[in-house]
Amino acid sequence: MTITLPPALDALLARKLATGKYEDAGDVVREALRQMDSRETALEILRQEAAVGFDQLDQGDSLEMDREAFMNHFRSRRQAA
């Protein structure tokens, strides 16, 4: 497969390779795709949780939760996905 990158992304790829963390351009692309997939999965879970929460609020059913409790709940749902 051949990929043509604009200069800014080509420079970013070169910087990533220069760190020594990646063996070749394919490693950088694979890592980027894994991270993109993970982020998209997390966003979808958050959207689903928000939809459920808004439905519960509309029905007058709510639960107070501090930030730490929310993040723990979100992380456990993300790991289960």
**Ordered mean pLDDT values, 10 residues apiece, the chain (81 residues):** 94 97 97 97 90 90 86 82 65
- C-beta neighbour count of 16 within 10 angstroms: 17
Give me the pLDDT at residue 70, please.
Answer: 85
DSSP 8-state assignment for residue 81: -
Q: Is 20 left (phi over 0), alpha (psi -120 to 50) or beta?
A: left
Q: Give me 47's structure tokens.
A: 């959207």
Give me the pLDDT at residue 81, please.
Answer: 65
Give me the pLDDT at residue 59, please.
Answer: 92
Query: Among 6, 9, 39, 1, which Cα is nearest to 17's?
Result: 9
Give me the pLDDT at residue 11, please.
Answer: 98
